Amino acid sequence: MSDLEPFDIVRTEVSGRPTLLVYGEIDVMSAPKLHEALSLVIREEPRILQVDLANVTFIDSTGLSALVVAHRQLEEAGGELRLVSVPPKVHRVFELVGLDGRFKLNRADGEHPKSGAPLTTARSKGPART
C-alpha cells in the first residue's frame, strides 16, 4: 500500500443495516484490519452486513480472502454479506477469480451483470474443437 492511498474503514448504519465503508487499497497490509472490522460486526449477528467498496482502489487475494471468510461466517449463521458500490476495476477482480457468482455485488456504475449468462447465443454447426 502506498502512502498516497491511506486505508480506512468507517462503520455506519444504512437503512438500519450495519455497513462498513472501506477506503483505499485492500492488500496484505490492510486486509487484517478489514478482517478484524468484519469479525467485530459479525459477532453482533446481523442478518445483513453491507460493505461499501466505492472508495476502494485496489484489492488483492488477501482482501478477497477476508471477504470470503466473512461471507462464509455470515452464511453459516443465516446472514448475508452484500458488497455495494463496487468499482468496475474491483468488480473485474471478482470476475477474474470466479467470485462474482458467490457474492451479491452491486456495481458502482449501476450495472448488475447476469450471473450464469451464456457467453454466446448461437452455436456453431461445425465439429467441436478441443
Query: For the chain, what percent of residues have pLDDT higher than 90?
Result: 72
Mean pLDDT value of segment 22-31: 96
How confident is the prediction for the chain on average, in pLDDT?
84
Report CA dihedral (93, 95, 98, 104) to the nearest 10 degrees: 100
Residue 48 gets which letter from DSSP? E
Q: Which domains does the chain have, with CATH numbers?
A: 8-107 (3.30.750.24)
Asked if pLDDT for residue 130 goes beyond 60, the answer is no
Termini Cα distance of the chain: 42
Query: For the chain, what percent of residues have pLDDT higher than 70?
Result: 79
**Crossing angle (nearest 10°) for helices 61-76 and 31-42:** 10
Asked if pLDDT for residue 118 goes beyond 80, the answer is no
pLDDT at residue 1, as a whole number: 43
Asked if pLDDT for residue 4 goes beyond 80, the answer is no
pLDDT at residue 5, as a whole number: 66
Asked if pLDDT for residue 112 goes beyond 60, the answer is no
